[in-house]
Each structure stands twice: as structure tokens, then as C-alpha cells.
Structure 1
């Protein structure tokens, strides 16, 4: 459970840009709903002319008993999926450092590597084939306790309060293996039971997702997560991946997971000395903005630096290997910003439940 008052972030004026004519319109004129309308001048960035999104909606349910129970259960352990529909955009780096940052802040945090490339597993210094993990858990060969690795149950150098479920290349064959065991398995449900169990042991569960939605674990993240955190670099193709992922969030909200919310956008490897970088950052601010003008981009941006691959080579996060480095401080600030948004959402949910309970008592 998260407590405390959200911090107020003061953002300066956005730098002038020839693309300022693109403005975000409200889909429904409420603070909890928005429409991302991308005009044709962004065609050079590979984005479609119209990208409707209803994002970052704090809980405003029609208070049925079923939905209220689902919302209450959500806060037993918060599930945050980190993704982008394009690879090589800092997705795994973001997932690892968000998890390490939240653990550093005192939360019992699980990093679940769902990517067959096992980037998060390698980043924390684990050899993918040395431990059972995601593959064995989803096949039912081990339970969640056996899948979770921490410094307390293995002789490895892991941060306090952080656990990981490792991945391996053989996860690529998960669907064919599951299909051979049960012809009627539902790809959207493969994470449901493990996550329900993990919620009881962790405050926050961070899912590092594959860049595509081909494999069932990737599809299931959309169905199982409470929040989706988008990661990108200020690069036209990476920004296009944001648009694709945002459309997927919208589609899932309309079908498999109506509680899924967009938590924010993290920009990695930012070099503000280049004009294109500044323009793309401003574009993200405008495309992912609320009707009040606030951006869903989490601040600060993460600077381009060789310290990230250096920490990866050491099998550690920048936060743990180089705690005084500016990039470590930036990632910790992102963790704090995530805390703030979760606190705001939790407060809004608490108020909504109280109002619903009061209304029920007055009938």
C-alpha cells in the first residue's frame, strides 16, 4: 500500500516548435479522459493522422458488486507492464530500473522477465539457463515461490526487497508447448493464476514484456496488468511504437481488461542538444496530454549515457552500481513520480468507493 501526499512537479514552458498546431482534444470533457489527435504534419514521424485514446482514466466505475470487488483486489499488489511495440527503445532498461527504484524506495518489488531475449535477467547478472523461471512457471512445472529469485534464497547479488522471475530463449516455444498439452488454452489467461498468487507477496509487480504481441505471455500482460508504462527513445520509429502500444491499450480496455490504465511514458537516451530530440519530446508531451495540459510523460527524461551499458556489463542497475550518477538519480526520480501517480489513483479509488458506499447506505 502506498501512503503520503503526491509531490507537485513544476514543468517549464515547452520550447517553441513548428508542430505546436497539433493539440490534444478531450474525447469526453473530463479530467480522466482524453483524445490523442495526431495531425498530418507528424506523418514524417511515421504516425497515423488520427490516434484516438482514452487514457489515464482514474477509476470512475458504474458501481456493480463485481466491478467493486475487482477494483479492491487490484490493490493487493499493483501490476505494471512496461512495453513498446518496437524493440531497442530502452524498454528493458526502463523495466529494470523502475523495479530497482521502487525496491530502493522500500516496496517489495518483483521484476518478471517475460521476454525470450531475457534482457532483464541478464541485466541483473543472472545466466538465463541457470535457473527455472517464466517458462517452467507457465508450464506448471514449478510454483511461484520456486520461480522467484532474490538475495535471500540464492547466493546472488540482488538488491534488497527486489525479486526476479528470470526468462530464457526457450520461452519462444511456450505457445506450441502449451498447445500440445491443451488444445483449448486461452493465451490471455496464461498469467492470471500466477499473478493472483504473486499479488499476495509483493507490493508492486513489474512485467518486462516482449516488443511484439505474438506470444501468449505478451498478450496476457495486457489482460492482467493494472497499469501500462510506455518506454521509448526520442526516435521516430520508437515514437511510432508508442502509438501502436497505445492503440493496443485502447483495444484491450474495450474488451479483455477494462481496468487497464496508462501510467505514463518514460523517454530514455535523451540528448537535448539535438533539435530533433527536443521536437520529439515536445511531440510526446502534446500527444500524451490531459485536457488540463499536464503531460503523461514522466519527468525527468533519462539522459543518454554510457553508464547504462557499463552497469549492464556488471550485472547491476545504475541505481545500485553508480548511485550518485545523474542517470541513477533520474531513474529514482521516475520511481518517485510513479509512486505519486499511484497515490493519486489510490486516493481517487478510495474516494470513489466511499461515495459508492455512502450512496448505497442512503437508499
Structure 2
């Protein structure tokens, strides 16, 4: 269960979710995608565009099984949340047993469904633009010394979700913060962002990965549902691929590798090791008899 979450919009969640899903499909896995942003439906549109373009062009594209949870309109918030909860759990029950991976895209705000998704995630991917505006979603910093003053509300909610997940089924949520829109030339500001992220990662226990740089081609992919991992030629692009297309493909491959998903023997061993570690948390340490009074 891969959840792409960040309470700030415009960080590249839907683009990241789609590329991760297609990467897994191309690796031979069965994949379902879920869109919990009932208003924007960016991932839903992406999947629809992909299926439509494939039919119209005659180019075979792998398309994930997909569903979205529309916002419920009821007299009370409790009734609305109950209906959304049922639609999500029914949808997951339908796809979870028949697919190797489920990729969930969440809205750029704090919603009931977003909080629920974070609590069922095995891997949480948090894309953020490489700036202190996006960093503020995770933590507060001193404007002079750049020291971490406090963690932000979203980071606190993720920490709570990890704690609840561990208590519920002894599973460890693997949290990966992905730096998007990184410039080709590193600036002083980017160095400071990177330093603050490293410091915060030690405090909150997330890993850091490089994501998607500021490339126009990622925005061009959306209307036709393509990704950087598809066969990019004159038939699909209407022209020859450029070095920027090749660089974008390499970025996505590096990102997927950095997520360390259980797609090979090493990844499966990591998951098993996390499960064993989670099972030992809270158990008393076995001491030799010499320490027993």
C-alpha cells in the first residue's frame, strides 16, 4: 500500500503517483490506483487520459485499475465521513486481493480520508518542492540560524499515524520525503533546505529521495496520459525525444529505486526485517540469569 501524501497542493503528488504506478506495471506487477481528492481528481483524469489516448492512437499502454472516492454530502459530518469510509473500504476490498500494489493519491489538505490513508500505508511518499515554503509543512525553522524549532501539523499527524499503525498490526510505515523541482544548479537556498531536511529526518525518522526536477515535459504528459517511462518516439510524442525526455526517465527510475519497494529479493528482505523489528518492539529484553535477582 503506497500512499502519496502532503497537505500542500502543487507538490507533484499526482504526477509522482502515476509514475510510480506505471513503473510497477512495467516491472510486471498488478497495480491499482485510488484517488481520494474528490474535488480535483487529478490522478483520475490522468488515468482517464491515458486510457483514452491509448484507444484513439492504437498504442498499447498499461493502465492501472482505478477508482476514486467522491465527496459525500450528508446532513452531518459524521454521516458523510461514514459514507466515505465505506466507499473506500469497499473499493480497497475489491482491488487489494487482486493486485500486488495499491497506489493512493491524497488531496492537498487535511481530510478524513487522507488521515485514514496515512494509517493504512506501508510506504508513505511525501513530495515537496525544494523550498522553505514547502518545508514549512514539515517543520518550523529559525530564520537566522536555520535550526529546527518545531515540527509542523502534517509531520505530527504522520508521526501519530505511524504510532497507530504499529499498535494496530506491528507494521512499520516507511516514510520517504521526495524533493521535487530541484534546479540543475544548486543554490545557497537549496543547500539550506537540504541541510534542514537532513536534520529534520533524524528527528522524525523519514528518508530523503530526489524526485522530479522542473521539466516542462512532465506537464505535457498529463493531457495524453503518458509518463517518462513509456516508449517515447515520433508516434507518441509527434517528434523525436530530446535529452530532457531521457533525463526525466532516469529521474523516475532513480526515484522508484530510492523507495525500496519489495519488487526484488532485497526489497522483500527489507520488508521482512521491518516486520520482525516491529514485532520485537515492546517485548522485554531477555537477560542472562546473572542479572536475575
Whether TM-score is above 0.5 comes out as yes
Please name the residue that 1:345 is paired with: 270
Please name the residue that 1:316 is paired with: 226
Q: 1:285 to 1:101 in 2, by over 3 A?
A: farther
State yes or no: 1:287 paired with 2:200: yes
| Higher alpha-carbon deviation: 175-184 or 96-105 | 175-184
- Correspondent of 1:325 among 243, 246, 260: 246
State yes or no: 1:159 paired with 2:61: yes
Please name the residue that 1:99 is paired with: 21
* TM-score (normalizing by structure 1): 0.57
Answer yes or no: is the 8 Å Cα contact 1:232–1:242 preserved in 2.
no
Kindly provide the CA deviation profile for residues 197-225 of structure 1, in whole angstroms up to 9, marking residues without a partner as x: 322111110100001123x3223212332
1:83-122 to structure 2, matched below 5 A, reads: 83-115=5-37, 116-122=39-45
Please name the residue that 2:159 is paired with: 250
Report SS of the residue matched to 1:241. Answer: coil
Report SS of the residue matched to 1:185. Answer: helix
Please name the residue that 1:17 is paired with: none
The CA RMSD measured in Å over matched residues stands at 3.9
Answer yes or no: is the 8 Å Cα contact 2:124–2:176 preserved in 1.
yes
1:183-202 to structure 2, matched below 5 A, reads: 185=82, 190-202=87-99
State yes or no: 1:302 paired with 2:212: yes
Answer yes or no: is the 8 Å Cα contact 1:190–1:220 preserved in 2.
no
Gaps of 5+ in 1: 1-78, 128-148, 356-363
Q: Which has the higher strand share?
A: 2
Kindly provide the CA deviation profile for residues 94-132 of structure 1, in whole angstroms up to 9, marking residues without a partner as x: 1111111222222211121211201112234539xxxxx
Answer yes or no: is the 8 Å Cα contact 2:49–2:223 preserved in 1.
no
Q: 1:276 to 1:288 in 2, by over 3 A?
A: same
Q: CA deviation at 1:177?
A: 4.2
Please name the residue that 2:146 is paired with: none
State yes or no: 1:217 paired with 2:113: yes
| Residues in 2 aligned to 1:303 and 1:159: alpha-carbon distance in whole angstroms | 24
- Correspondent of 1:234 among 124, 130, 142: 130
- Correspondent of 1:276 among 182, 189, 210: 189
Please name the residue that 1:65 is paired with: none
Q: 1:339 to 1:109 in 2, by over 3 A?
A: farther
Relative contact order, higher structure (CA 8 A, sep 6+): 1
| Residues in 2 aligned to 1:125 and 1:261: alpha-carbon distance in whole angstroms | 30
1:107-186 to structure 2, matched below 5 A, reads: 107-115=29-37, 116-126=39-49, 159-160=61-62, 162-166=64-68, 171=70, 174-177=71-74, 185=82
Q: Which has the higher helix share?
A: 2
State yes or no: 1:266 paired with 2:190: no
Kindly provide the CA deviation profile for residues 114-160 of structure 1, in whole angstroms up to 9, marking residues without a partner as x: 11201112234539xxxxxxxxxxxxxxxxxxxxx899999996733
Task: State how many pairs are aligned.
Answer: 248
Please name the residue that 1:45 is paired with: none
Q: CA deviation at 1:286?
A: 2.7
| Residues in 1 aligned to 2:212 and 2:114: alpha-carbon distance in whole angstroms | 25
Q: CA deviation at 1:234?
A: 0.5
Report SS of the residue matched to 2:176. Answer: strand
| Higher alpha-carbon deviation: 345-354 or 220-229 | 345-354
| Residues in 2 aligned to 1:265 and 1:316: alpha-carbon distance in whole angstroms | 24
| Residues in 2 aligned to 1:334 and 1:184: alpha-carbon distance in whole angstroms | 34
